[in-house]
Amino acid sequence: MKSDFPALKDWIYLDSAATAQKPKCVIDAISNFYQEEYATVHRAVYQMAAESTEKYSSVRRKVASWIHARQEEEIIFTKGTTDAINLIARSLGDLVVEEGDEILITAMEHHANIIPWQMLAKRKKARLVVAPLDERGDIDVSQFASLLSARTKIVSFTHISNVLGTINPVKELVKIARRYPLYIVVDGAQGIVHEKVDVQDFDVDFYAFSGHKIYGPTGVGILYGKKEILDMMPPVQGGGDMVDTVSFETASYQETPLKFEAGTPMIASVIGLGTAVDYIQNLSFDHEKELLQYAEAKLSSIEGLKILANPKQRAPLFTFTLEGLHPLDIANLLSFKKIAIRTGTFCAQPLLHSLGIQAACRVSFGIYNSREDVDALYKALMDIRALALV
Q: Which of these is catalytic: 347, 357, 376, 382?
A: 347
Q: Shortest gap between Cβ of 304 and ligand PLP (angstroms)?
A: 27
Residue 82 touching ligand PLP (CB under 6 A): yes
Q: Which of 16, 41, 75, 80 binds ligand PLP (CB under 6 A)?
A: 80
Smallest distance, ligand PLP to C-beta of residue 287, A: 21
Bridge partner residues of 221 (DSSP): 78, 210
| Contact mark string toward ligand PLP, 13..42, x via CB under 6 A | -----x------------------------
Phi and psi (nearest 5°) for 306?
-125, 120
Residue 46 class from Cβ within 10 Å (0-12 exposed, 13-18 middle, 19+ buried)?
A: exposed
Decide whether 152 or 210 has the Cβ nearer to ligand PLP: 210
User: CB under 8 Å to 389, separation ≥6 — which residues?
Assistant: 324
Minimum separation from the CB atom of position 162 to ligand PLP (A): 3
CA distance 68 to 281: 13
Polymer length in residues for the chain = 390
- Closest contact distance (angstroms) between CB of 245 and ligand PLP is 33
The 3-state secondary structure of 2-67, one letter per residue: HHHCHHHCCCEECECCCCCCCCHHHHHHHHHHHHHHCCCCCCCCCHHHHHHHHHHHHHHHHHHHHC
16, 21, 52, 162: which one binds ligand PLP (CB under 6 A) = 162
Q: Is 76 in the site for ligand PLP (CB under 6 A)?
A: no
Footprint (CB under 6 A) of ligand PLP, residues 306-345 = none
Would residue 361 show up in a list of annotated catalytic residues for this protein? no
CA distance 3 to 250: 54
CA 147 to chain centre: 25
> What is the Cα–Cα distance from 113 to 177, expressed in whole angstroms?
17
Q: State which residue, 252 or 349, has the beta carbon closest to ligand PLP.
A: 349
Burial of 95 (0-12, 13-18, 19+ CB in 10 A): middle
Does position 112 interact with ligand PLP (CB under 6 A)? The reply is yes
Of 81 and 256, which CB lies nearer to ligand PLP in the complex structure? 81
Task: Single out the segment in contact with ligand PLP by CB under 6 A; choices: 39-47, 109-117, 172-180, 309-317.
Answer: 109-117
Task: Draw the binding track, 178-217, toward ligand PLP (x: CB under 6 A; -: no contact).
Answer: ---------x-xx-------------------x-------
In the complex with ligand PLP, the residue whose CB is nearer, 82 or 106, is 82
Q: 20 or 325, CB closer to ligand PLP?
A: 20
158 binds ligand PLP (CB under 6 A): yes
Minimum distance between the CB of residue 251 and ligand PLP, rounded to whole angstroms? 29
Cβ–Cβ < 8 Å for 139, 168: yes
Minimum CB distance to ligand PLP smaller for 158 or for 321: 158
Q: Is 166 among the residues that bind ligand PLP (CB under 6 A)?
A: no
Write the burial class of residue 133 (CB in 10 Å: 0-12 exposed, 13-18 middle, 19+ buried). buried
When the beta carbons of 52 and 156 are compared against ligand PLP, the nearer one is: 156
The site that binds ligand PLP (CB under 6 A) totals a number of residues, namely 14
CB-CB contact of 105 with 139 (8 Å): no
Strands (E), the chain: 12-13, 75-78, 102-106, 127-131, 152-158, 183-187, 206-210, 221-225, 243-246, 251-253, 305-307, 317-322, 339-340, 342-344, 360-364
Q: Which residues are catalytic?
A: 347
Where does this chain bind ligand PLP (CB under 6 A)?
Answer: 18, 80-82, 110, 112-113, 158, 162, 187, 189-190, 210, 347
